[in-house]
Amino acid sequence: MNKVILQPSGNKDAREHYENTIQSPVSMQVLTEYLSEETINQLEAFYPDRSVPTWGVTPGKNNVNVQKWGKIQTGDVTVFSANGQIFASGVVVLKLQHKELAAQLWGYDKSGQTWEYIYFLDEIKQHAIPYIEFNRAVRYADNYIIQGFNVLREELSERILSSFDLKSEIYLPDVSEEEYEQEILQFEDHDNLDTNRSGKGRKEQSFLRRKLFKNKKVGVCGICGNQYPVDLLVAAHIKKRSKCSREEKLDYKNIVMPMCKFGCDDLFEKGYIVVCDGKIQRNIKKSYTPHLLERVAQIETRECKHWNDHTRKYFEWHQQQ
Ligand SMILES: [Zn+2]
């Protein structure tokens, strides 16, 4: 699950950093001088405009920040706070330690440290969330003041992310195949995608979305073939999830495909369209209104790129419902 990173930024250094490397993101040109080609390639995939909101923390006294920074993962949400409110948030894309880059971007603090524990952000949003609202969401005392860099544990983070709608649909936390498997076993009794999408099965959806979209911002609907931002696409099960055996659920490469929220997901799930021999067709068992027929006509006879020898049996199951 995604975590929340508290990043109080009221002091002079932090205010300057926010202006210099978040509000005015760092250009890829500068980063290229310091980072490996592999890292640059990764970053370029996330930042087509080649400007990268960048933040960093110092090791701190007795390296107090190092362990906290170590917990940061892709998809975690940083909240910047100052003057009694959370004023901005951003989603973690990538992190790395780099002293020279940090020194170049921000120099050194009074104790001779630099902000070398770096993380790159995206989806920077402005907010005006007063501390009191934040405190109540986290169930802290009303007069609590965010002090110091910190990475909150998952349970607290979840309260904040859902209270203030800060979750990213693009950058998802790493979920290993083992964790996915565990999740499948643990939630085997959950019988529909809805429980799966909200709350408890998040790891499963995270994993499936990551496998499908690989943290890309844009994906292609497997039904209509249109390109959409990934937050308008779902990882839809071809064979209804609740009817899948454990083995089928674990066959994640074949059991899900991206479908858009502009109707394809629903049309497929409710059986108004089927995929037959690789082609999208209307379902003769269903009754249609003229408007629905118009909609279906737009996608009918399209080839479904996800239909192959491995997925065929799932499409056939779907067709027979
Ligand atoms: Zn679609």
What is the CA(238)–ligand 1 centre distance, in A? Answer: 14
Number of Cβ within a 10 Å radius of residue 102 = 22
| pLDDT at 211 exceeding the cut of 90 | no
What is the CA(228)–ligand 1 centre distance, in A? Answer: 9
| pLDDT at 128 exceeding the cut of 80 | yes
What is the CA(301)–ligand 1 centre distance, in A? Answer: 14
What is the CA(220)–ligand 1 centre distance, in A? Answer: 8
Q: What is the pLDDT of residues 136-187, one digit of tens each?
A: 998 889 888 888 899 999 889 989 998 998 988 777 767 778 888 877 777 6
What is the CA(284)–ligand 1 centre distance, in A? Answer: 20
Contact between 4 and 152 (Cβ < 8 Å): yes
What is the CA(300)–ligand 1 centre distance, in A? Answer: 12
Q: What is the pLDDT of residue 172?
A: 74
For 278-291, letters b (16+ CB in 10 Å) and e give: eebbbbeeeeeeee
What is the CA(261)–ligand 1 centre distance, in A? Answer: 7
Eight-class DSSP state of 90: E
What is the CA(274)–ligand 1 centre distance, in A? Answer: 13
275 strand-pairing partners = 280
What is the CA(39)–ligand 1 centre distance, in A? Answer: 33
Contact between 157 and 1 (Cβ < 8 Å): yes
What is the CA(219)–ligand 1 centre distance, in A? Answer: 10
What is the CA(232)–ligand 1 centre distance, in A? Answer: 9
Q: Which of 14-28, 163-177, 229-243 has the highest mean pLDDT?
A: 14-28
What is the CA(208)–ligand 1 centre distance, in A? Answer: 18
281 strand-pairing partners = 274
Longest dimension (CA), the chain: 74
What is the CA(191)–ligand 1 centre distance, in A? Answer: 24
- For residues 304-309, give the mean pLDDT: 94
- What pTM was computed for the model? 0.70
At 130, give phi and psi (nearest 5°). -65, 150
What is the CA(18)–ligand 1 centre distance, in A? Answer: 39
56 strand-pairing partners = 118
For 115-140, letters b (16+ CB in 10 Å) and e give: bbbbbbbbbeeeeebebeebbebbee
Q: What is the pLDDT of residue 62?
A: 93
57: tokens are: 């923390």
| pLDDT at 203 exceeding the cut of 80 | no
Q: Which domains does the chain have, with CATH numbers?
A: 4-163 (3.10.590.10), 179-319 (no CATH)
What is the CA(282)–ligand 1 centre distance, in A? Answer: 15
What is the CA(198)–ligand 1 centre distance, in A? Answer: 22
What is the CA(268)–ligand 1 centre distance, in A? Answer: 10
Contact between 99 and 58 (Cβ < 8 Å): no
**Concatenated DSSP letters of 295-309:** HHHHHTT-B-TT-ST
Q: What is the pLDDT of residues 63-113, one digit of tens each?
A: 999 999 999 998 899 999 999 999 999 999 999 999 999 999 999 999 999
When pLDDT is cut at 50, 70 and 90, the band that residue 195 belongs to is: very low
- For residues 200-207, give the mean pLDDT: 73
What is the CA(172)–ligand 1 centre distance, in A? Answer: 22
Residue labelled with tokens 């066959």: 251
What is the CA(233)–ligand 1 centre distance, in A? Answer: 8
Please give the C-alpha separations between residue 4 and each of 55, 69, 168, 238, in angstroms, as whole numbers. Answer: 15, 12, 12, 33
Distance from C-alpha of 13 to C-alpha of 17, rounded to nearest angstrom? 6
What is the CA(264)–ligand 1 centre distance, in A? Answer: 4
Q: Which residues contact 301 (CB under 8 A, 6 or more apart)?
A: 279, 280, 281
- Would you call 170 helix, strand, or coil by DSSP? coil
At 250, give phi and psi (nearest 5°). -80, -10
Q: What is the pLDDT of residue 66?
A: 96
Q: Which of 18-27, 78-87, 211-220 has the lowest mean pLDDT?
A: 211-220
Helix residue spans in the chain (DSSP H): 12-17, 28-32, 37-46, 64-70, 99-106, 131-138, 154-163, 177-186, 193-197, 202-213, 246-250, 252-255, 264-269, 290-299, 312-319
More confident residue, 201 or 27: 27
Distance from C-alpha of 137 to C-alpha of 47, rounded to nearest angstrom? 32
What is the CA(271)–ligand 1 centre distance, in A? Answer: 14
